[in-house]
């Protein structure tokens, strides 16, 4: 489970799962908050924090956006009506937003990557990112930058102690 900040609590936002690898593999160009169409047992599994966004992506198909390869575990207390763990799920966006996504993915070669799943005011939401893939040297640069920031923070902490 992810840490909850004060800002999230004010907003009524309860984090379920984050896709940290997406921030490492992609440069985030734009973000969208989308709703998601779920069945009852999927909602119960999400509330229990049983989801995985690894290797997941979204695609625009016939004017609608669908989420692929998101694993939401089956609900233990569910019966024969339990859901498929990796079924394709529809995302809820406005028509204008979908048009923007189509243009960006087809013309600019950007990818649609889910960053996180959370609940806001009792409704399941997905933070969807329009992202550009990083090259290997960009990833190495990101790692070096993060290590440098850690060292600076450590030095500042030592000085103040």
pLDDT (tens digit, 9 = 90+) per residue, 61-107?
999 999 999 999 888 777 777 888 888 999 999 999 999 999 988 88
Task: With respect to residue 5, please indicate whether it lies within any of the assigned structural domains.
Answer: no
**151 is a domain residue:** no
Check residues 47 and 77 and name the one with the higher pLDDT.
47
Coil, strand or helix: which one is 101?
helix
Is the CB of residue 67 less than 8 Å from the CB of residue 53? no
* Predicted local distance difference test score (pLDDT) of residue 145: 87
In a domain, 33, yes or no: yes
141 within a domain of the structure (yes/no): no
- DSSP 8-state class, residue 83: P
Cα(10)–Cα(119) distance, rounded to whole angstroms?
13
Q: pLDDT digits over 108-135, tens only?
A: 889 999 999 999 999 999 999 999 987 7
Who contacts 32 (Cβ-Cβ below 8 Å, separation ≥6)? 93, 97, 101, 127, 128, 129, 130
State the residue range of the domain holding 96. Answer: 10-133
Q: Does any domain span residue 127?
A: yes
CATH number reported for the structural domain that contains residue 52 in this entry:
2.40.280.10
């Amino acid at each position: 489970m992810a840490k909850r900040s004060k800002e999230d609590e004010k907003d009524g936002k309860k984090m379920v799962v984050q896709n940290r690898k997406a921030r490492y593999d992609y440069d985030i160009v734009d973000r969208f908050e989308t709703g998601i169409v779920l069945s009852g047992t999927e909602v119960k599994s999400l509330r229990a924090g049983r989801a995985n966004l690894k290797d997941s992506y979204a695609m625009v198909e016939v004017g609608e956006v669908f989420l692929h390869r998101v694993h939401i575990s089956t609900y233990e207390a569910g019966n024969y009506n339990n859901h498929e763990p990796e079924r394709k799920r529809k995302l809820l966006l406005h028509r204008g937003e979908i048009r923007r996504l189509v243009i960006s993915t087809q013309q600019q070669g950007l990818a649609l990557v889910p960053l996180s799943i959370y609940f806001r005011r009792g409704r399941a939401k997905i933070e969807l990112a329009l992202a550009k893939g990083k090259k290997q040297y960009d990833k190495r640069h990101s790692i070096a930058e993060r290590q440098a920031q850690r060292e600076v923070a450590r030095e500042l902490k030592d000085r103040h102690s």
